[in-house]
């Protein structure tokens, strides 16, 4: 990473001698969040200095963004992170963007259906801004365009997995042990508890055979924006390959379950659309995976405990301007495992709803927002209420709260104890 930053710096200094315009800007942001329930401890104490530089010379544009990040709750170490660094070359009918970049292909608010190009940073679950949740990936992004049509082609040599924490305040649940049929007494259905171990993930090497590819065709037809998506990639979220092995460290003959994170290939077909109808805007997304891996309830020393099934996700949403200052967006989301088997651990169908109410008052200096994601299938939820006060063009104060709830084994419910109040101070320069 440091090498990348140095290379960018050399490139920028070098380009300074070319007939190009260069600009520097950035932001300084403080983010603190405190648990509402006892012990009211800090969940986040994070300071970020972001330096952005932009360069343009005719049909060439460059952008680089570096973060200096300090998190007092995690380790109090200051990290240097190259967020994005890319070069654009614009042509009459084709544009190129090469480098570390974010690509947004979805239309949903607060949910990722077709927005699957970049892996997510869930180290603070959904507390970060979406710009920070999406992790930039190095790729070549080619865009052919003509009139109302454009075709985007992505070639992604770099694989980055999703960033999930298993320790700390926003750790995802990971069981320590599991009950399996006791081989000695399996005839009478007796079970035994064995420990679960989690080896480190081994990432695919950077070679042509591991390149990921994406295609997106965008059209404007009969007043409707339509996109068709094809994506061939590896799962960012690890699929846990299960294996029951004899525990070599055990004095007595014993077993352990080894869950090795893997990142299998998947193929994805997607569709986006949006269209205004009077005061409404209707939008939707659909994504189909012909094959995805799912955990099953059954596993033995011979079976890895996984099965492959087709999977479909869809979203239909409407947006409506309630008043000149108030906008509401409602979304219905469904996830469905096709050709379902009872042995699969995940539910066959998941239904979610989102409501986003956004205001903009006093010439956009005061902007309240209420976002709720509700998982109807397991009654878990995330509700966020926040208010932005733009004191000046440079200085913004945000105050908000995140309320999470549901059973401990649900996506939101696992953070039930993390209801928090937060404050963000942002200075742009």
Partner 1 sequence: MKLKMTQIAVFGLISMSFSVFAEELTGRDIMLKVDQQSDVRTAINDTKMTLINNRGQTREREVMRYEKSYDGAGGIDKKTLIIFNYPADIRGTGLLLWSYTDPEKDDDRWLYLPALKRIRRIAGESKNDYFMGTDFTYDDMGARNIDDDNHTLLGKEVLNGEECYKIESVAKKKNDLYSKKISWVLPEKWVIVKVEFYDKSDALLKELTVSDVRKVDNIWTGHVLFMDNFAKSHQTKIEVRKVEYNCDISDQVFTQTTLQRGRVQ
Residues near partner 1 (CB under 8 A) are: 25-27, 52, 56, 58-59, 61, 88, 90, 92, 95, 102, 104, 106-107, 129-131, 143, 145, 147-148, 150, 218, 220, 223, 225, 274-281, 283, 319, 321, 324, 362-365, 392-394, 396, 428-429
CB of 285 to partner 1, least distance (A): 12
Beta strands at 255-262 and 191-197: parallel, antiparallel or unpaired = parallel
Tokens, residue 269: 């077909």
Q: What strands lie across the sheet with 255-262, from one edge to the other?
A: 177-181, 191-197, 255-262, 239-246
Closest CB to partner 1 among 354 and 396?
396
What are the DSSP calls for 135-196, one per residue? PPEEEEEEEEEETTEEEEEEEE------B--SSSTTPPP--SEEEEE-TTTGGGT-EEEEEE
Q: How far is the CB of 390 from partner 1 (least distance, A)?
A: 8
Both tokens assigned to 404: 């999470």
Question: Which is nearer to partner 1, 13 or 104 (by Cβ)?
Answer: 104
When the beta carbons of 35 and 275 are compared against partner 1, the nearer one is: 275
Q: Hey, what are 270's tokens?
A: 């997607």
Residue 134 CB, shortest distance to partner 1, in Å, is 8
Q: Which is nearer to partner 1, 26 or 368 (CB)?
A: 26
> Radius of gyration of the chain from Cα atoms?
24
CB of 213 to partner 1, least distance (A): 21
Q: Of the two residues 63 and 266, which places its CB atom closer to partner 1 in the complex?
A: 63
Q: 201 or 394, CB closer to partner 1?
A: 394
Q: Least distance in Å: CB of 138 to partner 1?
A: 17
**Closer residue to partner 1 in complex, CB, 90/399:** 90
Q: How far is the CB of 322 from partner 1 (least distance, A)?
A: 11
Q: Which two tokens stand for residue 412?
A: 């939101």
Burial of 227 (0-12, 13-18, 19+ CB in 10 A): buried
Gap between the Cα atoms of 315 and 247, Å rounded = 46
Quick one: 88 or 235, whose CB is closer to partner 1?
88
Q: How far is the CB of 260 from partner 1 (least distance, A)?
A: 34
Q: Of 172, 173, 169, 121, which is closest to residue 420 (Cα–Cα)?
A: 169
Q: Closest CB to partner 1 among 231 and 255?
A: 231
Query: Residue 409 and residue 404: Cα distance in Å, rounded?
Result: 13
CB of 172 to partner 1, least distance (A): 26
DSSP β-bridge partners for residue 18:
none
Using the minimum distance from each CB to partner 1, give the nearer residue, 29 or 292: 29
Beta carbon of residue 364, minimum distance to partner 1 (angstroms, whole number)? 4
State the CB neighbour count (10 A cutoff) for residue 16.
10
Supply the DSSP string of 110-148, one letter for each residue: S--SS--SSPBB-TTTT-S-HHHHBPPEEEEEEEEEETT
| Cβ nearer to partner 1, comparing 136 with 233 | 136
CB of 236 to partner 1, least distance (A): 18
Cα 212 from chain centre:
17
Helix then strand then coil, in percent of the chain rounded to 5, is 5, 60, 35
* Residue 292 to residue 328: CA distance in whole angstroms: 34
Closest CA to 138 of 84, 96, 90, 94: 84
Q: From CA 200, how far away is CA 16, in angstroms rounded? A: 43
Residue where the block lists tokens 């989690």: 198
Residue 78 beta carbon to partner 1: minimum distance, rounded to whole angstroms = 23
Q: What gap in Å lies between CA 142 and CA 94, rounded to an integer?
A: 7
């Amino acid at each position: 990473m440091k090498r990348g930053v140095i290379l960018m710096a050399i490139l920028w200094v070098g380009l300074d001698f070319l007939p190009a315009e260069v600009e520097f800007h950035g932001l300084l942001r403080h983010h603190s969040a405190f648990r509402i329930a006892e012990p009211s401890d800090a969940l986040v104490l994070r300071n970020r200095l972001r330096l952005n530089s932009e360069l343009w010379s005719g049909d060439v544009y460059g952008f680089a963004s570096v973060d200096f990040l300090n998190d007092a709750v995690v380790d109090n170490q200051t990290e240097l992170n190259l967020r994005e660094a890319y070069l654009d070359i614009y042509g009459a009918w084709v544009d190129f963007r090469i480098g570390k970049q974010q690509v947004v292909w979805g239309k949903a608010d607060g949910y990722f259906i077709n927005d699957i190009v970049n892996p997510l940073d869930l180290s603070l679950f959904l507390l970060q801004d979406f710009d920070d949740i999406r992790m930039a990936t190095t790729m070549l992004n080619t865009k052919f365009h003509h009139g109302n049509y454009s075709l985007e082609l992505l070639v992604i040599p770099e694989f980055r997995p999703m960033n999930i924490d298993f320790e700390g305040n926003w750790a995802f649940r990971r069981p320590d042990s599991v009950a399996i049929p006791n081989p000695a007494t399996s005839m009478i259905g007796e079970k035994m508890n064995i420990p679960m171990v989690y080896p480190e993930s081994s990432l695919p090497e950077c070679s042509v055979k591991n390149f990921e590819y994406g295609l997106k065709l965008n059209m404007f037809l009969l007043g409707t924006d339509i996109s068709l998506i094809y994506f061939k990639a590896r799962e960012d979220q690890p699929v846990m390959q299960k294996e029951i092995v004899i525990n070599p460290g055990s004095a007595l003959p014993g077993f352990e379950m080894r869950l090795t994170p893997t990142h299998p290939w998947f193929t994805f077909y997607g569709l986006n659309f949006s269209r205004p109808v009077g005061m409404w805007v209707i939008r939707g997304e659909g994504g189909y995976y012909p094959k995805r891996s799912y955990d099953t309830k059954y596993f033995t020393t011979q079976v890895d405990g996984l099965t492959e099934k087709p999977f479909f996700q869809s979203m239909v949403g409407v947006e409506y301007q309630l008043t000149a200052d108030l906008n509401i967006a409602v979304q219905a989301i469904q996830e469905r495992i096709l050709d379902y088997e009872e042995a699969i651990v995940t539910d066959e169908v998941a239904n979610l709803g989102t409501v986003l109410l956004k205001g903009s008052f006093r010439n956009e200096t005061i902007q309240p927002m209420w976002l709720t994601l509700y998982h109807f299938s397991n009654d878990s939820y995330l509700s966020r209420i926040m208010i932005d006060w733009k004191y000046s063009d440079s200085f913004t104060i945000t105050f908000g709260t995140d309320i999470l709830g549901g059973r401990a084994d649900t996506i939101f419910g696992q953070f039930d104890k993390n209801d928090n109040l937060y404050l963000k101070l942002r200075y742009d320069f």
